[in-house]
Amino acid sequence: MSRLGSLGSKLYRGETAYDFVGKRKLWYGVTLAFVVIALSGLGLRGLNMGVEFQGGAVFTTPPAVEMTVEEAREVTQEASGSQARVQRMGDGALRIQVTGLDTEQSNETREVLAGELGIPVQELSTDLVGPSWGDQMSSKALQGLVVFLILVTLYLAIAFEWRMSMAALVAVLHDLVITVGVYAIVGFEVTPGTVVGVLTVLSYSLYDTVVVFDKVKEKTQNVTKQSRRTYGELANLGLNATLVRSVNTSVVALLPVGALLFIGTGLLGGGMLKDIALSLFIGLAAGTYSSIMIATPLVTDFKLRDREIRAHDKRILAKREAAAQAAATGAENETGDDDSGAEDAGATTASTVVGPRRQPASRNRGRGRPSGKRR
C-alpha cells in the first residue's frame, strides 16, 4: 500500500488525525484574510462585465488576419469612442468586443474595421447585444443564484440539521466571494460562461461538504451516550475520515480544469473556454478549502451553543483534568516514597557505623594456663 493510502486508512480508522476543529480559530483568521483581499479587489477594481451583460457589439474577423491585437484595439477605439477588448482566437481570427454601442455606431465601427483589414464588410461578422437584454440576463442570473441557495439550504436542513445547513451556506458564500474577487483582481471578463462555471463550482462545493457532513453525523450521532470524546473531537474524526478522499477528488478535478485554463487557453485562444476554466479552477480550490476548514468547524461552534452538548463536553474535560491531577499526585507520592526510603537506609547505615565497635572475645584466651588461682 502506498504512503497516501496508508495515511488514508489510518485517518479513516481514527488511528491518527489532524486537529482541524481544535485549531478552527486559526483557519477562521486565514479565511477572513482571503475574504478581505477578495472584497478589496472587488471594491477597487470591480467586475469587468462582458457585452452580454452591458450591451454592445462583438466583431469577429476571418481567420489568419494580419492585423495585430494592438492595432485592432486602437482602430476600434478610435472608430467607436469606447474601450475595446481584443482576443486572438485559435485559428488566427480576432474577436473584438465593444460595450455601449447602438446599431448605428456598430455599423460605422464595422465599416472602419473592414476598411483597415482590407476585406468586404460582409466578411466581418457582427453580433449586437442590446443593453435591455443584458440587464435581463443579469437579473435572471441573480434570481437563479438566490433560488439555488434557498433550495440547497432547505434540503440540507431536512437531510441533516439546520446547523449543518447554515455552515454549508457560509462555505458556499465563501467560495462565491473568493471566485468573484479573483475575477475582479485578474480583470477577466464576466460572460455567460463565467456564470455556468460559478454554478458548477457551487454544486461541487456542496457535494464535497455533504460527504463530509455525512461522516460527521455518523461519528456524532451518539455523542452524549459515550464519555471518551467531546463533540468537537468526534466531528474532527469524521472530517479526517474523508480528508484524503476530498483532497484526491479535488486534485483529479483540478488537473483537467488546469489543462483547459493554462494549455487550452493558450493554444485555442481562450474565449468562453477560458471564462469557464478560470471560475472552475478557483472555485474547486476554494470549495475544497471551505469543506475542510470552514464547514465542520462552524458546525462544532453551532453545536456548542446547545446546553446538552456543552454540559457533556464539560463533564469529559473535568474528568480528564481530575485524572491528570491524580496522575500527577501519584507521581509526586512515588517520588516522595523513594526519597524517604533512601533517608531510612542512610540512617540505618549510620547507626551501625558510629561508636566503638565491640569485638567478640577470643576463644584462645586462657588456653595453656594452669587452673586455680593466680599467685
How far apart are alpha carbons 265 and 244 in whole angstroms? 30
How far apart are alpha carbons 20 and 294 in whole angstroms? 9
Identify the pLDDT of residue 279. Answer: 85
Q: Which amino acid is at 168?
A: A
Nine-digit cell at 276? 469557464
Question: Angle between the 192-220 and 131-159 helix axes, to the nearest 10 degrees?
Answer: 10
Mind listing the pLDDT tens digit for each residue in 62-104? 887 778 888 888 888 888 877 788 877 766 788 888 877 777 8
Question: Angle between the 192-220 and 231-241 helix axes, to the nearest 10 degrees?
Answer: 130
CATH superfamily, with its number, for domain 3-49+133-314: Multidrug efflux transporter AcrB transmembrane domain (1.20.1640.10)
Contact of 151 with 67, CB cutoff 8 Å: no
How wide is the angle at C-alpha 360 spanned by C-alphas 355 and 365, nearest 5°? Answer: 135
Q: What is the pTM of this model?
A: 0.74
3-state DSSP assignment of residue 66:
coil
3-state DSSP assignment of residue 57:
strand
How far apart are alpha carbons 24 and 304 in whole angstroms? 14
CATH 3.20.20.10 fits 56-129, yes or no: no
How far apart are alpha carbons 165 and 171 in whole angstroms? 10
Nine-digit cell at 217? 453525523
3-state DSSP assignment of residue 373:
coil
Cβ-count burial 275-291 (b if 16+ within 10 Å, e if not): bbbbbbbbbbbbbbbbb
Q: Which amino acid is at 186?
A: V
Q: Which amino acid is at 311?
A: A
How far apart are alpha carbons 56 and 126 in whole angstroms? 10
Q: Which residues of the chain form CATH 3.30.70.3400?
A: 56-129
Contact of 20 with 293, CB cutoff 8 Å: yes
Question: 313: which residues sit within 8 A by CB, 6+ positions away?
Answer: 230, 231, 232, 304
**170: Cα within 13 Å, side-chain hemisphere:** 21
3-state DSSP assignment of residue 141:
helix
Strand ranges across the sheet with 56-60: 84-88, 94-99, 56-60, 125-129
| Distance from the Cα of residue 310 to its chain's centroid | 27
Write the Ramachandran bin of 161: left for phi over 0, alpha for psi from -120 to 50, otherwise beta: beta
Per-residue model confidence as pLDDT tens for the chain (375 residues): 556 556 656 666 656 778 889 899 999 999 999 999 999 988 888 887 877 777 788 888 888 777 888 888 888 888 887 778 887 776 678 888 887 777 788 888 888 888 888 888 888 888 877 766 667 777 877 888 888 888 888 988 888 889 999 999 999 999 999 999 988 888 877 877 788 888 888 888 888 888 899 999 988 888 888 888 899 999 999 898 888 888 888 888 888 888 877 776 655 555 567 778 888 888 889 989 999 999 999 999 999 998 999 898 899 989 888 888 888 887 777 665 555 554 554 444 444 444 444 555 555 555 555 544 444
Contact of 80 with 152, CB cutoff 8 Å: no
Neighbours of 84 (CB within 10 A): 23
How far apart are alpha carbons 287 and 291 in whole angstroms? 6
Q: Which residues of the chain form CATH 1.20.1640.10?
A: 3-49+133-314
3-state DSSP assignment of residue 87:
strand
